[in-house]
A and B are shown apart, each in its own frame.
Chain A
Amino acid sequence: MIARAVAMGAGAAVVGAAFALPWWANPGMLFLAGLTLIQALFALSWNLLFGYAGLASFGHAGFFAIGAYFTGACLKYKFGIPFPFVLALAGLSGAAVAWLIGIVALRRLAGIFLAVLTVALSEVLRLIIGYTKFLGREDGLNDIPRPTIDLGVVTLDLTSSEAYFVFLLAACSLLTAMMWWLVHSRFGRTFQTIRQDAERAAFIGTNVSAYRIAAFMISGALAAIAGGLFAPWTRIVTTDEVHWLMSIQPMLNTLLGGVGSFWGPIVGAMAFAAINYGTRTFVGLAEVIVGGILLLVILVAPHGLLGLVSALRARMVRGHPAAARETPLPERQR
């Protein structure tokens, strides 16, 4: 109970500090914080698939890019759709593409086909974007304006970095809360049964392929919304957003924070941003240092930073080294 109270207090302090960020942080740090929020949301979407439903997507950047390009195009070419609807449509587009891939890869075939098809998706998208003038070809969409949201009685002007950051933080918090509720509901428990033993799950009457497709659609929608939030923040979207390196980022964030733990991807994204920020001045060495730190974390804490915290806590509470060995997995039920 005390540990939970401490964790909730720390979480509230982090969110509070983040909301205050526009008033004290310099523009560079604010920009990095915004990117971290987006990366955390993107990693959450990947972790829903991998950590909860037991499926791997190696081309998740495809969904991110769908959202980013859709939102970027809507804002740049002034389609006149209110921004919240643009984000919702971006999410629906991600879910629709995930459904199309899912009905091919997940109805009868094993999960490996999903991994292959998602890589194919991101490559196909990269080629399509590269040939589409409307999407800026290889140069991408630039000068994307930040939106204003007309609520009738009041208009939210999000054109400044500070205002958009507060909106970004509010949107990410809301989506994170929705995800928390989802994975801790009966629906989320069914995902966990499928990940732990799909055959047993089928023999308690679970339509495994339907649940897997649903998980993939939710994950695709969330990744697309993360992309949708990204476009007005950076004000430029290029084919880098659909590159395989972009697909690896949510995996690294999740592995660093803790696979399967709900907060793992968020902690991982924050830790990754901190490592990047701390090593930014080591020109030419930064990648080596980041890689070395990641390798060290994986060797020392194979269940990520939260897994390490859980193991240390178990060791301290029970006072015996064996206690730590008995708690090797991040506590998924929390």
Chain B
Amino acid sequence: MRYGELEVLKGVSLGVASGETFAIIGPNGAGKTTLFKVMTGEARCDRGSVRFRGEDVTRLPAFQRARRGFGRTFQMARVFPEMTVMQNVVSSLESHRRWSGLSLGKWYRYKPSTEVATEAESLLRDLGLQDHRAVEARFLSHGDKKRLEFAIVLAMKPSVLMLDEPTAGMAQSDRLGVVELIGRIRAERGITVIMTEHDMDVIFGLANRLMVLNYGEVIASGSVGDVRDNPVVREVYLGKEMVRA
């Protein structure tokens, strides 16, 4: 993968098993986000391929990968700011449902079906957003926006959840809440999680396996214990204090 003359990913290869939580870590500029974008379809690699459940999805755009089960969150929560919390979730639920007419019966204002509304209510309850259902998303706190983003993604019923620094910019209390939320989603729904993160407490608390990138190259991969004890990783990224902790 290249940006002009700069080769940002060099021979990176990874495989993630169903139900696994896989983390990609590395210093700033290591290529984590680019690798993420290649997997989600936001960027195209000039060599190599991306396979999902045996299917080659390398040439598929992001929206088609999303329809196949890729759910994506961003460093700064991306929601629909001028819609209410409920409308955000309803929009996501409807996006993968077949059209059932153009609501001629209620022609002056479209309302979601009872099935969609019930499912949206259930998701909001599950994520603790039920009291905010009528609030426009732009007025939510950062932590609540993050929860809403999770609700939007979960409404798509993804089989792979791709989390780009899920606790970035959060206070400690919100951070613990998000870690608990990811753990619960994984346990209850059996979703595969692929994440990038700088906070090692989050990584060590959630990941089964991880991979370390530096200048676009894989310098280590394996179980949390293996990577933590790797001297190269300690030198390049973790530092001695982090390892002692």
Q: Do B78 and A197 touch across chains, with their CB atoms under 8 A apart?
A: yes
B71: Cβ under 8 A from any A Cβ: yes
- Among B74, B81, B91, B152, which residue has its beta carbon within 8 angstroms of that of A190? B91
B67: Cβ under 8 A from any A Cβ: yes
Inter-chain contacts of A181 with B (CB < 8 A): 102, 107-108
Shortest C-beta distance, B233 to chain A (Å), equals 31
Total chain A interface residues with beta-carbon distance under 8 A? 26
A78: Cβ under 8 A from any B Cβ: no
Bound together, the chains give a CA A188 to CA B67 distance in angstroms of 20
Identity of the chain B residue whose Cβ is nearest the Cβ of A180 in the assembled complex: B108
B61: Cβ under 8 A from any A Cβ: yes
Inter-chain contacts of B9 with A (CB < 8 A): none
Bound together, the chains give a CA A185 to CA B91 distance in angstroms of 12
A200: Cβ under 8 A from any B Cβ: yes
Q: Do A202 and B61 touch across chains, with their CB atoms under 8 A apart?
A: yes
Shortest C-beta distance, B159 to chain A (Å), equals 13
- Among A184, A186, A197, A326, which residue has its beta carbon within 8 angstroms of that of B80? A197
Shortest C-beta distance, A133 to chain B (Å), equals 45
B92: Cβ under 8 A from any A Cβ: yes
- Among B80, B94, B99, which residue has its beta carbon within 8 angstroms of that of A200? B80
Q: Do B110 and A186 touch across chains, with their CB atoms under 8 A apart?
A: yes
Inter-chain contacts of A192 with B (CB < 8 A): 80, 82-83
Find residues 204-241 in chain B having any chain A CB closer than 8 Å to their own CB: none
Q: Contact flags (1/0) for B85-118 with A, using CB distance below 8 Å?
A: 0010001101110010011000111100000000
With known contacts A184-B110, A202-B62, A204-B91, A196–B83 Cβ distance under 8 A:
yes
Q: Do B109 and A193 touch across chains, with their CB atoms under 8 A apart?
A: no
Between A185, A192, A207, the greatest number of chain B beta carbons within 10 A of the residue's beta carbon is seen for A185
B72: Cβ under 8 A from any A Cβ: yes
Identity of the chain B residue whose Cβ is nearest the Cβ of A183 in the assembled complex: B110
Inter-chain contacts of B82 with A (CB < 8 A): 192, 196, 329, 332
Bound together, the chains give a CA A190 to CA B83 distance in angstroms of 11
Q: Do B99 and A203 touch across chains, with their CB atoms under 8 A apart?
A: no
Q: Contact flags (1/0) for A307-330 with B, using CB distance below 8 Å?
A: 000000000000000000010010
- Among B40, B42, B95, B99, which residue has its beta carbon within 8 angstroms of that of A204? B95
Identity of the chain A residue whose Cβ is nearest the Cβ of B96 in the assembled complex: A205
Q: Do B91 and A193 touch across chains, with their CB atoms under 8 A apart?
A: yes
Find residues 197-214 in chain A having any chain B CB closer than 8 Å to their own CB: 197, 199-200, 202-208
B203: Cβ under 8 A from any A Cβ: no
Top-8 shortest CB links A-B? A200-B78, A205-B67, A204-B95, A196-B80, A204-B92, A202-B63, A205-B66, A203-B72
Interface residues of A (CB under 8 A from B): 180-181, 184-190, 192-193, 196-197, 199-200, 202-208, 326, 329, 332-333
